[in-house]
Structure 1
Amino acid sequence: MNQSAPIYQQLMNNIKQKIVNGELKVGDRLPSERVMAEKYGINRMTVHNAIKKMVEEGTLISKRGSGTYVSSYPSIESKLEMANTRHLSLSAQIRQKGMKSTRKTLLLRKIRPNRENKDYFPNEAYIYEITRLSLINDEPYALQIVNIPFSKFKDADRFNFETFSLYEYMDDQGHRPTTMITYLRIDSLPDEFLEIMNIKKNQKIFHFDYFGFDDDHTLVEFTKSYHLPKYTSFHYITGRTDNLNQ
């Protein structure tokens, strides 16, 4: 357990981690407060306080005369720092935070580059467009529209992008991005994805554009990624120059 947090919080995090990892499932009964206090070597009142807070959150439910049970996946307390983990797949970033990650492939098709994509892949007759939905604890989190060049990933339509990482596939093909350029803006989600992401029209989200380059400095990925602010954080560094006031 994280020793920097209060003891009750450490216990809460420990229980939540067990739920996310599948060691505890929804409907499972927790050990008694006495047993947990003995197991972790802590005061029984500390255990009681941790369980009470998790009941208030809705993660646990107490049944009089029966015990305490897991009622749902834990609420998300950590946000993903997009700027710090750009070389990891999105699902790996989510798992690093101790949360359940799932994804769905909504569309995978081979297309001719349109006006925008043609600028990024000028020498490609075809590209693959992959539209994927990422979920955190079964709730929509991010929608990604990925474009990769057909000439370097000719069998992408036979790959299971729900089970395996896009970057694992790209690595197997010898063209995993090693340099990533990212642009961020506050935007609205295209109307066709509003229902999928369960948000309202004109609700603002984070829109990331990713440009991934392989070891040969060739563009091998252009991705539009729409993230709900509820689960996303980022940081940036500014520099001061001597010409600032000139």
Structure 2
Amino acid sequence: MVSPVYIQIHNQIKKDIEAGKWKIGEKIPSERELAENFSVSRMTLRQAIQTLVDEGILERKIGSGTFVARKKVQEKMSGITSFTEITEAQGKVPTSKTVSYLITIPSLSESEKLNLDDNQKVLRMERIRFADDVPICFEVATVPLELVRDYDKTQITSSLYRTLEENGLIIGHAQQTVSAMLASERIADFLQLKKGDAILRLRQVSFLQDGSPFEYVRTQYAGDRYEFYLEK
């Protein structure tokens, strides 16, 4: 059985990308040019392109054209893994830029999420997280000060999870909530987006193996650079 023409075009463009004809981030020819090259109608060509866009192989940029998509950083929504570990597992180099680092009295929400007593303080830090120098997310993380008092700032801001594990603590599970929203001016500036661009918001409470909460995180991800997937 012969595949539909648009699937044949889809397959050829995918092969061309994999062979390096167009590199990641590179603009491909216009629909008109490609339709002429494949000797098909614009409608058929557009169907092939849309299929590649839906698969995350190509991405459209309004007013600019169609480009070979950058591979998004993925997080599997089962278990718990740090941004550093997720990024490294995909062959990318994780880095962070600390926006603020403050020892303070927790908010009511932070106290509730971390099950803190009235007299306990927290460390609240804001970071921009990068993968291969591309900004992926803006993160506000709150941890009980007592938990990290003996670690220096670099140990905490580079990879909190790794620091905890290297010091004998075992990371357990997490409670996560994901929602969609639009980037504010501040977040857009941090993530090199436009105000109003789509972002993913993750709220997470992380627990040690003994069941005690150790981190409350509010993270905003650039919608075109990060995706979550579920595994049952």
Moved more, 209-218 or 100-109: 100-109
> How far apart, in 1, do the equivalents of 2:24 and 2:231 lie?
40
What is the DSSP-based 3-state SS (H/G/I as helix, E as strand, rest coil) of the residue aligned with 2:92?
A: coil
Indicate the residue corresponding to 1:135 in structure 2. Answer: 130
1:235 to 218, 229, 232: 229
TM-score by length of 2: 0.64
Residue deviations 1:45-94, cap 9 Å, x none? xxxxx354339938xxxxxxxxxxxxxxxx76432332347532212212
Indicate the residue corresponding to 1:217 in structure 2. Answer: 211
What is the DSSP-based 3-state SS (H/G/I as helix, E as strand, rest coil) of the residue aligned with 2:23?
A: helix
> How far apart, in 1, do the equivalents of 2:190 and 2:79 lie?
25
> How far apart, in 2, do the equivalents of 1:151 and 1:77 lie?
40
C-alpha contact 2:141 2:217 (8 A) present in aligned 1: yes
Tell me: CA distance 1:161–1:153, structure 2 relative to 1, closer, same or farther (3 Å).
Answer: closer
What is the DSSP-based 3-state SS (H/G/I as helix, E as strand, rest coil) of the residue aligned with 2:91?
A: coil
Higher strand share: 2
Q: Which stretches in structure 2 are left out of the alignment for 5+ residues?
A: 1-10, 28-67
Indicate the residue corresponding to 2:174 in structure 1. Answer: 180
C-alpha contact 2:76 2:228 (8 A) present in aligned 1: yes
Tell me: CA distance 1:157–1:100, structure 2 relative to 1, closer, same or farther (3 Å).
Answer: closer
Give the Å deviation of 1:180: 1.1
Give the Å deviation of 1:184: 0.5
Within-5 A mapping of 1:145-224 = 145-161=140-156, 164-224=158-218
> How far apart, in 2, do the equivalents of 1:171 and 1:80 lie?
23
* Residue identity in the other structure for 1:54: K
> How far apart, in 2, do the equivalents of 1:207 and 1:173 lie?
30
TM-score by length of 1: 0.61
Indicate the residue corresponding to 1:87 in structure 2. Answer: 80
Give the Å deviation of 1:97: 2.0
C-alpha contact 2:77 2:230 (8 A) present in aligned 1: no
* Residue identity in the other structure for 2:218: K
C-alpha contact 1:85 1:93 (8 A) present in aligned 2: no
Tell me: CA distance 1:165–1:76, structure 2 relative to 1, closer, same or farther (3 Å).
Answer: farther
Give the Å deviation of 1:10: 9.6
C-alpha contact 2:78 2:231 (8 A) present in aligned 1: no
> How far apart, in 1, do the equivalents of 2:209 and 2:229 lie?
26
C-alpha contact 2:148 2:156 (8 A) present in aligned 1: no
What is the DSSP-based 3-state SS (H/G/I as helix, E as strand, rest coil) of the residue aligned with 2:111?
A: helix
Provide the identity percentage.
Answer: 15
Residue deviations 1:13-60, cap 9 Å, x none? 7xxxxxxxxxxxxxxxxxxxxxxxxxxxxxxxxxxxx354339938xx
Is 1:53 the equivalent of 2:22? yes
Moved more, 76-85 or 108-117: 76-85
User: Matched residue pairs, number?
Assistant: 179
Tell me: CA distance 1:159–1:98, structure 2 relative to 1, closer, same or farther (3 Å).
Answer: closer
Is 1:120 the equivalent of 2:113? yes
Tell me: CA distance 1:237–1:174, structure 2 relative to 1, closer, same or farther (3 Å).
Answer: closer
Is 1:99 the equivalent of 2:68? no
Whose relative contact order is higher, 1 or 2, with alpha carbons under 8 Å and at least 6 apart?
2
What root-mean-square deviation, in Å, do the aligned CA atoms of Structure 1 and Structure 2 show? Answer: 3.2
C-alpha contact 1:175 1:220 (8 A) present in aligned 2: no
Tell me: CA distance 1:176–1:192, structure 2 relative to 1, closer, same or farther (3 Å).
Answer: farther
Q: Which stretches in structure 1 are left out of the alignment for 5+ residues?
A: 1-5, 14-49, 59-74, 239-246
